[in-house]
Structure 1
Amino acid sequence: MLAQNYLMVQEYLIYGFGWLSFGLVHSLLARENVKTRLKPAFGAYYRLAYNIFAVLHIGAVYMVGLFIFEGVIDFMRPSWLWWCQGVAHGLGWIIMFWALREYDLGRLGGLSQIREHFKGIMAHDEEPLHFKGFHKWVRHPLYSAGFLILWGRINNEFDVMTAICGSLYLWIGSRFEERHLIRLYGDHYATYKSRVPAFIPFKGQVDFKEPKI
Structure 2
Amino acid sequence: MVQDYLIYSTAWASFGLVHSLLAREKAKAVLKPAFGAFYRAAYNVLAGLHLVLVYIIGFMLFDGLVDFNRPEWLAVSQGLLYGLGWIVMLWALREYDLGKLAGIKQIREHFQGIMAHDEEPLHFNGFHRWMRHPLYTAGFMILWGRVSNDFDLMTAICGSLYLIIGSHFEERHLIRLYGDHYATYKSRVPAFIPWKGQVDLKEPKL
TM-score above 0.5: yes
Map of 1:202 onto structure 2: 195
The answer to whether the aligner puts 1:57 opposite 2:54 as a matched pair is no
Cα deviation for residue 124 of structure 1 reads 1.7
How many angstroms apart in 1 are the aligned matches of 2:27 and 2:159? 24
Offset from partner CA, 1:29-69 (integer Å, 9 cap, x none)? 10111111111221100100000010000000001101100
Map of 2:16 onto structure 1: 23
Map of 2:28 onto structure 1: 35
The answer to whether the aligner puts 1:71 opposite 2:64 as a matched pair is yes
Percent of counterpart pairs with the same letter?
74
Cα deviation for residue 110 of structure 1 reads 0.1
Cα deviation for residue 211 of structure 1 reads 2.7
Offset from partner CA, 1:62-105 (integer Å, 9 cap, x none)? 01101100011100011110110000000000000000000000
The answer to whether the aligner puts 1:186 opposite 2:179 as a matched pair is yes
Task: Report SS of the residue matched to 1:73.
Answer: coil
Map of 1:4 onto structure 2: none
> How does the TM-score come out when normalised to structure 2?
0.98
Task: Report SS of the residue matched to 2:123.
Answer: coil
Map of 2:141 onto structure 1: 148
Higher gyration radius (CA): 1
Cα deviation for residue 154 of structure 1 reads 0.3
Cα deviation for residue 123 of structure 1 reads 2.3
Q: Which runs of 5+ in 2 are unaligned?
A: none
Offset from partner CA, 1:160-206 (integer Å, 9 cap, x none)? 00000000000000000000000000000000000000000011211
Change (3 A) 1:212 1:65: closer
How many angstroms apart in 2 are the aligned matches of 1:212 and 1:90? 34
Aligned residues: CA RMSD: 0.9
Task: Report SS of the residue matched to 1:103.
Answer: coil
How many angstroms apart in 2 are the aligned matches of 1:167 and 1:85? 16
Change (3 A) 1:212 1:43: closer
Q: Is the CA contact 2:121–2:205 (under 8 Å) kept in the aligned structure 1?
A: no
Cα deviation for residue 210 of structure 1 reads 2.2
Amino acid at match of 1:104: D
Map of 1:89 onto structure 2: 82
How many angstroms apart in 2 are the aligned matches of 1:183 and 1:91? 33
Pick one of 132, 135, 141 that aligns with 2:128: 135
Cα deviation for residue 212 of structure 1 reads 6.5
Task: Report SS of the residue matched to 1:168.
Answer: helix
Amino acid at match of 1:75: F
Map of 1:112 onto structure 2: 105
Q: Which runs of 5+ in 1 are unaligned?
A: 1-7
Cα deviation for residue 115 of structure 1 reads 1.1
Aligned residues: 206
Change (3 A) 1:66 1:212: closer
Change (3 A) 1:156 1:141: same
The answer to whether the aligner puts 1:124 opposite 2:109 as a matched pair is no
Change (3 A) 1:212 1:53: closer
